[in-house]
Amino acid sequence: MKLDSAQLEAFQRDGLLILPGLFSAAEVAAIRAALPPLFEEESEANIAEKTGGVPRTVMGLHRRSELFARLARHPRLVGPAQQIAGPELYIQQVKVNVKAAFEGDVWQWHYDFATHHRDDGVPAPQALNLHILLDEVSHYNGPLYFIPGSQRHEPLPTFHDTASTSYPLWVVDRETVTGLIAEGSIRPALGPPGTALIFGDLMVHGSPGNMSPWDRAIFSLILNPVANAQTAFARPEHKHHTDFTPVVPLADDCLLEPAAAQ
């Protein structure tokens, strides 16, 4: 798959692409079917919410599941990423972020490069986040919020929030977020399962808690140029993978036809 010129222009302008229907219902069903055993594993890569014990984020999935190993190399994700960030990209992180019904906590306003740079020594904000909605995402079950145009700013000041949620995060303060929203508004990423999102390392985003009776899970693949690889190695492997081999896309039907992945 390749992005067209209008999509590339929109990405440069807004810092975000929302691609409805990029993955089929059958493909989403296959992804969802692979999750329950991973959720049940006793693993440091499974991080629960502060209360309730439900999953918040489940990481390192391409090393724990053959299906997720294929999904991390899917041409509908890797192809657009190569158009934007260059041909030699490595798999930096593979996870599913969960907003369990009634229990899913907020993700504070942040941009990913703050963590990648401060914690992992990534030199430049060149990584891309590629998401797939695995549930219907509405205004009610904790959708991702983006601030269009925020990626055009130089890296913004952040502080390390280790108390608000169970996952420490470098976050953007309220005054800065207020100014960014005044410039660019808030755009929620809504849509049916199979909708894909693409955004870069400087895009300011977050999400509210899920007070609804509907779960919300999102697959996330981060690809980073090999030439921009991490230089610090304090975090565990599931938070930033250290295999810098360039990712090679598989066949388009790799999720439903495992033989095609060979």
Rounded Cα gap, residues 72 and 60, in angstroms: 11
pTM as predicted: 0.96
Average pLDDT of the residues in 224-228? 98
- Please give the CATH architecture assigned to the domain spanning 5-257: Sandwich (2.60)
- Give the per-residue pLDDT at 262: 41
Indicate the pLDDT class of residue 1, thresholds 50, 70 and 90: confident
Rounded Cα gap, residues 174 and 17, in angstroms: 25
Rounded Cα gap, residues 172 and 126, in angstroms: 19
B/e letters for 79-101, b = 16+ CB within 10 Å, e = fewer, are ebbbbbbeeebbbbbbbbbbbbb
Q: What is the 3 state secondary structure string of 46-57?
A: EEECCCCCCEEE
Average pLDDT of the residues in 89-97? 98
Whole-Å CA distances, 58 to 36, 42, 131 = 11, 11, 14
Please determine, for residue 221, whether its predicted confidence score (pLDDT) is greater than 70. yes
Please determine, for residue 39, whether its predicted confidence score (pLDDT) is greater than 80. yes
Cα–Cα nearest to 35, from 105, 89, 100: 100
CB 176 within 8 A of CB 103: no
Please determine, for residue 260, whether its predicted confidence score (pLDDT) is greater than 50. no
As a dihedral over the C-alpha atoms of residue 65, residue 69, residue 70, residue 72, rounded to 10 degrees, the angle is 130
Please determine, for residue 117, whether its predicted confidence score (pLDDT) is greater than 60. yes
With a CB cutoff of 8 Å and minimum separation 6, the contacts of 48 are 54, 55, 56, 166
Average pLDDT of the residues in 38-49? 96
- Please give the angle made by the CA atoms of 5, 9 and 12, to the nearest 5 degrees: 140
Please determine, for residue 203, whether its predicted confidence score (pLDDT) is greater than 80. yes
Whole-Å CA distances, 161 to 101, 137, 141, 166, 167 = 24, 26, 23, 10, 9
